[in-house]
């Protein structure tokens, strides 16, 4: 098993490109890489509904380079991937509802654009290492839980299908062209720097905003749907480990949590941590019910065995940090 303490040296003085780097996960990776001495190039389209926020890098603004560009622009990507040692590929459309209402845009961003990045690497930087952000949504409604990587992929929405294709483009280019690539299938990631002004990045951000605003949290269905969660710092650990070690090239890995819980229990914990709040059970909106995946929590034994990654931040601790952050900086996320 690799030693976790060895990986920071992998990034010192290295050139790192982060697509979607002004968004939630990308900006948190940037903060960590600044500490590790990397040379960081952030690429983000800053399309309003997709989560890019310049405040996410406010404290490291003079330590990173930002290029406002769209990954759909092949010419830009051809130039931007040159001389990079690592690419953290976080750019994407993540809203499940948006993917059903506008499937062609989702196709462009989550499929065609992924090929643009990979083709740019193949022709202009074939020695680069790429870490792709996959999603639990690729599995669809689970046949069993916990869900391992051998579970069949049968997505319930357009986003899951396109993310599945984007992931496998990366694995294909690894296997055929030798472009080192790994995919991490993420579950419910939460924490500072998440998109909060609307609900396109999942229910956690919606619930956190409602609790801070003193609104009644609305839980769809019966509240008994089971989910698992990862605090952002643990997710950043996983991305860095996957980049630093070649053991995982050409493979996919689940992330997951050790505290799966029903949504109603998650909300009760959130209310406890926040020091007050209310919730109500409401019927599922029709457009959400037809793509709901039911119960899900992941089996992450594969990445633990290969890279030594594991769940560290307990829910109470992570939620406390999350609420404190948004109470302090809400003006930069609510607009």
- Cβ 73 vs Cβ 115: under 8 Å: no
Mean predicted confidence (pLDDT) in 314-332: 97
- The two beta strands, 226-227 and 261-262, are antiparallel
290 backbone dihedrals φ, ψ, rounded to 5°: -75, -10
Tokens of 267: 């909300």
Give a yes or no: residue 217 inside a domain. Answer: no
- With tokens 């929590």, the residue in question is 297
Beta strand 15-19 with 86-89: parallel, antiparallel or unpaired? parallel
Confirm whether 135 is domain-assigned.
yes
Percentage of the chain exceeding pLDDT 70: 97
What's the pLDDT score for residue 277? 96
* pLDDT single digits (tens) 238-250: 999 999 999 999 9
Number of domains in the chain: 1
Is 284 within the bounds of a domain?
Answer: no
The predicted structure's pLDDT at residue 202: 79
Angstrom distances, CA of residue 152 to CA of 164, 236, 292 = 11, 26, 17
Q: Are strands 39-44 and 64-68 parallel, antiparallel or unpaired?
A: parallel
312 vs 61: CA distance, rounded Å: 28
| Residue 228: both structure tokens together | 């698992």
Environment class of 32 (CB within 10 Å of its CB; exposed 0-12, middle 13-18, buried 19+): middle
Q: Give 3's pLDDT tier (boundaries 50, 70, 90).
A: very low
For residue 285, being part of any structural domain is answered with: no
Is 329 among the domain residues? no
Question: Is residue 294, in this structure, part of any structural domain at all?
Answer: no
| Mean of all residue pLDDT scores within the chain | 92
**DSSP letters for 21-75:** TTSHHHHHHHHHHHHTT-EEEEEE---GGGT--GGGGGGGGGGEEEEE--TT-HH
Instruction: Write the pLDDT tens digit of every residue in 67-108.
Output: 999 888 889 999 999 999 999 999 877 777 787 888 888 888
pLDDT of residue 292: 82
**117 pLDDT more than 80:** yes
Residue 282 has pLDDT above 90, yes or no: yes
Q: What is the pLDDT of residue 37?
A: 96
Range of the domain at 305: 4-190+229-258+299-312
DSSP classification of residue 127: T
Distance in angstroms (rounded) separating the CA atoms of residues 70 and 22: 12
Here the CATH number for the domain that contains residue 149 is 3.40.50.720
Locus of tokens 């409602």: 210
Asked whether the beta carbons of 186 and 133 are under 8 A apart, the reply is yes
Q: Which of 28-37, 50-59, 174-183, 313-322 has the lowest mean pLDDT?
A: 50-59
Among 191, 206, 251, 248, which Cα is nearest to 25's? 191
Domain presence at residue 183: yes
Tell which wins on pLDDT, 266 or 8: 266
pLDDT in tens, 151-195: 999 998 888 899 999 999 999 999 999 999 999 999 999 999 999
Q: What is the dihedral of CA 301, 117, 137, 200, to 10 degrees?
A: 120
pLDDT computed for residue 7 by the predictor? 63
- Residue 152 falls inside a structural domain: yes
Q: What is the pTM of this model?
A: 0.95
What pLDDT score does 105 carry?
Answer: 87
- Distance of alpha carbon 231 from alpha carbon 93, whole angstroms: 21
Q: Indicate the pLDDT class of residue 206, thresholds 50, 70 and 90.
A: very high
Question: Per-residue confidence at 5, pLDDT binned at 50, 70, 90?
Answer: very low
Q: What integer pLDDT is reported at residue 4 of this predicted model?
A: 45
Tell me the per-residue pLDDT of 122-146, one tens digit each, with 9 for 90 and over. 999 999 999 999 999 999 999 999 9
Q: What is the pLDDT of residue 199?
A: 64
């Amino acid at each position: 098993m690799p030693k976790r303490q060895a990986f920071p040296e992998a990034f010192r003085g290295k050139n790192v490109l982060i697509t979607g780097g002004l968004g939630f996960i990308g900006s948190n990776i940037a903060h960590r890489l600044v500490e590790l001495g990397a040379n960081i190039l952030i690429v983000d389209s800053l399309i309003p509904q997709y989560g890019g926020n310049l405040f996410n890098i406010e404290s490291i603004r003079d330590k990173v380079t930002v290029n406002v560009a769209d990954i759909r622009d092949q010419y830009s990507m051809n130039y931007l991937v040159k001389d990079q040692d690592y690419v953290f590929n976080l750019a994407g459309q993540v809203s499940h509802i948006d993917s059903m209402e506008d499937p062609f845009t989702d196709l462009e961003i989550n499929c065609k654009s992924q090929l643009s990045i990979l083709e740019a690497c193949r022709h202009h930087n074939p020695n680069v290492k790429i870490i792709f952000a996959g999603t639990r949504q690729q599995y669809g409604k689970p046949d069993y839980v916990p869900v391992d990587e051998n579970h069949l992929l049968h997505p319930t929405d357009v986003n899951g299908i396109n993310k599945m294709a984007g992931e496998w483009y990366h694995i294909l280019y690894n296997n055929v062209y030798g472009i080192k690539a790994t995919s991490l299938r993420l579950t419910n990631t939460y924490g500072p720097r998440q998109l909060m002004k609307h609900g396109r990045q999942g229910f956690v951000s919606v619930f956190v905003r409602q609790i801070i605003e003193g609104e009644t949290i609305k839980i769809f269905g019966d509240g008994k749907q089971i989910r698992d969660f990862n605090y952002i710092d643990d997710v950043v650990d996983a991305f860095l480990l996957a980049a630093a070690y070649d053991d995982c090239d050409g493979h996919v890995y689940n992330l997951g949590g050790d505290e799966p819980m029903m949504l109603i229990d998650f909300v009760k914990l959130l209310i406890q941590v926040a020091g007050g709040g209310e919730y109500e059970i409401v019927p599922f909106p029709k457009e959400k019910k037809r793509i709901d995946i039911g119960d899900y929590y992941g089996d992450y034994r594969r990445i633990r065995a290969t890279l030594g990654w594991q769940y560290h931040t307990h829910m109470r601790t992570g939620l406390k940090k999350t609420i404190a952050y948004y109470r302090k900086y809400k003006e930069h996320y609510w607009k």
